[in-house]
Amino acid sequence: MKIVVDTMGGDNGSSVVCAAIIEFKKNNPDIDIIAVGNKEELSCLTGVCTVVESKSVVPMDAHALEVLRMKDSSMMVALDKLISEDADAIVSCGSTGGFLSAATVKVKLIPSVKRAALVAPFPTAIKGKKVVILDVGANNENSAEELYQFGFMGRAYSQAVYGVKEPALYLLNNGTEEGKGSPAVKDAYQLYKTNNFPGFKGNIEARDSLYGEADVIVCDGFSGNVLLKSTEGVAKFFNDELKKMFKKNAITKIGYLHVRKGIKDLRETMDYKNTGGAMLLGANKVVVKAHGNSDARAFVSALDVAKSLCEADIVSKIKEGLSE
Amino acid sequence: MKIVVDTMGGDNGSSVVCAAIIEFKKNNPDIDIIAVGNKEELSCLTGVCTVVESKSVVPMDAHALEVLRMKDSSMMVALDKLISEDADAIVSCGSTGGFLSAATVKVKLIPSVKRAALVAPFPTAIKGKKVVILDVGANNENSAEELYQFGFMGRAYSQAVYGVKEPALYLLNNGTEEGKGSPAVKDAYQLYKTNNFPGFKGNIEARDSLYGEADVIVCDGFSGNVLLKSTEGVAKFFNDELKKMFKKNAITKIGYLHVRKGIKDLRETMDYKNTGGAMLLGANKVVVKAHGNSDARAFVSALDVAKSLCEADIVSKIKEGLSE
């Protein structure tokens, strides 16, 4: 197995990515890593993995076209290496929009896939259980057919990464009854229903999405992005308010000493860093987008996700699902 | 001022609504209330306000057409009274979809309004400050023109209910840069920009929606519903997890004693019951939808919202805004 890593472009510099690669290689000595970036900054990787030089870094707000033009950037060099070395996966924590577009152009979509989808695992109220939600932001709008294809991708992901044999799949909607929702969601419902999609359970509302009944939730990229970011926002809001609350006075500070372990656990449950990153499903290779503000631990998780997806041969699984 | 109240159809029965009316009348002896419902159940309102008999109750999952057919239901009788008595406002905690559709048919939209919008105030990180978000569920999808009209409605609401002179208005989007988003949101951005809409500040992401910069956030009904319900869901998730955490052992239980006041404050901040209810903007009368599970306090808040909107003459304000 061969994984290409774009080491530049994250908020925390290449050093956290280097630390992650060293850690990952300790546990996975047989997996080849090709690290792309500034050679000096990557000198600590000598003897650990292959290092490939790149001259520039894609800025965080770069658009698709800008990225494609920056041929000597770590992101583009990494994508080129992915193809030329016939590697299995690529991981980057650079600009999301730019990376997804450039990866789609370079890696190409699986034939018959209409649109790629960004998939993210969310924490649920059931300890240790994650729910796979897609699309969370690769698209601005999606047709019913695209929403139907996302089902095959999400199912394959849930099976591959979380080992769920028969994932329970729901459509994100503004009500649970059949016949609810936007025209695209209504039509998608009928596609799932009439084709007897395995594990299709109907609609789910956003308020119930984290309660653990669903293994996979399908939505258009715009709503999915709202769901992802509002979950993130409210979680941060609560954390901030809890902190304020405990700092209020001597008594609340003593109170904090008694519950800090629990608060820490809660924070970890809601911490996206533990879930590694989002993956672009529907492309011909494994494409993982680590969080821009990943620390070494988060980047190791992203590498682990890439590894699981390669081991599970997710690309073939999606191809098979779609051809049925 | 005259307010019609549908006393039936809430999760907690008519008794909480009666209690709310009695409380509200104490503070507002000059406002006429017409309470519609089962006469026996409303006997406690004798001498407090006008009581009008109705024979049936709209079930919570009733669709628009079903509601319109139930002519002797408290909801339909209340809507009829709203028109025949030329009352100013109606408040109901019955079926949302049914109530909104029936109200739209009976009360009619303001001429030139393409679609009514359900508006809900959300708590923010700034103590006491609310952000007005619309549409949160009256529509399944919205055009750019509709999103533009929602701006006038949201602005009028923010000015009328929260007294904000120059509300900062944002479009909910999947990124902050101009040019981001779904086709409808992109076009709406241009309408706001080229028409120099007062207070228009651009795009906002869901994660920042509760941080208090925005006074008004405009979105389509589907995304708004996802935002509303995911905020609700994550808030409940946190509350549940906090409870579990504090119940863990004797030490955490002691810890709880020290912070329970703060936890209670936090829960109240996030509690929609304090915000009274959602309003259908764009209709020719004040139409307030109280939460289905409203208690007496929540229903009093809903009556207070109806009162503020009548006092501010919100219907005329929206008409003026749209005619400019």
- Taking CA A40 as the corner, what is the angle to CA A36 and CA A45, rounded to the nearest 5 degrees? 60
* Model confidence band, residue B249 (pLDDT cutoffs 50, 70, 90): confident
Q: What is the mean pLDDT of residues B240-252?
A: 76
pLDDT number for residue B166? 96
Arithmetic mean of pLDDT, B11-18: 92
Residues of B in contact with A204 (CB under 8 A): none
Q: Do A207 and B125 touch (CB under 8 A)?
A: no
Q: What is the pLDDT of residue A243?
A: 78
Report chain A residues whose CB lies below 8 A from the CB of B128: none
Quick check: A269 contacting B, CB < 8 Å?
A: yes
Contact of A29 with chain B, judged by CB distance below 8 Å, is answered with: no
* Interchain CB distance below 8 Å, B237 and A209: no
B181 contacts chain A (CB < 8 A)? yes
Beta-carbon contacts of residue B26 (< 8 Å; ≥ 6 apart): none
| Residue B183: predicted pLDDT | 95
List the alpha helices (DSSP H) in B85-182.
96-107, 144-162
**Average pLDDT of B147-169?**
94
User: B-chain residues within 8 Å CB-CB of A183?
Assistant: 140-141
The structure's pTM equals 0.89
- The Cα A85–Cα B231 span in angstroms is 45
CA distance linking residue A223 with residue A225, whole number of Å: 5
Q: Which of B207, B234, B252 sits opposite A258 (nearest CB)?
A: B252
CB of B183 less than 8 A from some CB of A: yes
How far apart are the CA of B27 and the nearest CA of chain A, in angstroms?
Answer: 33
d(CA B151, CA B218): 6
Measured distance CA(B53)–CA(B36) in Å, rounded: 6
* B182, B211, B255 ranked by CB distance to A258: nearest: B255
Let me know the angle formed at the C-alpha of B185 by B183 and B189, rounded to the nearest 5 degrees: 115
**CA B202 – CA B171 distance, rounded (Å):** 6
Residue B67 and residue B73: Cα distance in Å, rounded? 8
Helix (H) or strand (E) holding A53: strand A50-53
Q: Does A143 touch chain B (CB under 8 A)?
A: no
Cα–Cα distance between B231 and B239 in angstroms, integer?
12
- Give the Cα separation of A256 and B251 in Å (integer): 11
Least CB-CB distance to B229: which of A206, A232, A256? A206
**Residue A305 and residue B285 in contact, taking contact as beta carbons nearer than 8 Å:** no
Q: What are phi and psi of B288, to 5 degrees?
A: -115, 130
DSSP B137: S
pLDDT surpassing 90 at residue B122: no
Question: A60 — contact with chain B (CB < 8 Å)?
Answer: no
**What pairs with residue B132 in β-bridges?**
B121, B216
Query: What pLDDT tens digit does each residue of chain A (324 aa) get?
Result: 999 999 998 888 899 999 999 999 999 999 999 999 999 999 999 999 999 999 999 987 788 888 999 999 999 999 999 999 999 999 998 888 889 889 999 999 999 999 999 998 888 888 888 899 999 989 999 999 999 999 999 999 999 888 999 999 999 999 898 988 999 999 999 999 999 999 999 999 998 998 899 999 999 999 999 998 888 888 888 778 777 777 777 777 777 777 777 777 766 666 655 566 788 999 999 999 998 878 898 899 899 989 999 999 999 999 988 887
- Closest by CA position to B115, among listed B322, B307, B276: B322
Tell me if chain B has a CB within 8 Å of the CB of A268.
Answer: no
B235 has a chain A CB within 8 A of its CB: yes
Nearest partner of A112 among A313, A291, A283, A311, judged by Cα:
A283
Could you give the percent of chain B with pLDDT greater than 70? 96
B26 part of contact set with chain A, CB < 8 Å: no
CA distance A312 to chain B (A): 31
Q: Which tokens is B170 given? A: 């944002």
Question: Does residue B18 surpass a pLDDT of 80?
Answer: yes
Residues ≥6 apart with Cβ < 8 Å to A292: A9, A10, A11, A60, A93, A94, A95, A96
Helix or strand (DSSP H, E) at A216 = strand A216-218
d(CA B324, CA B321): 6
Which of B97, B206, B242 is facing A233, going by the closest CB pair? Answer: B206
State which residue of chain A sits closest to B222, comparing Cα positions.
A174
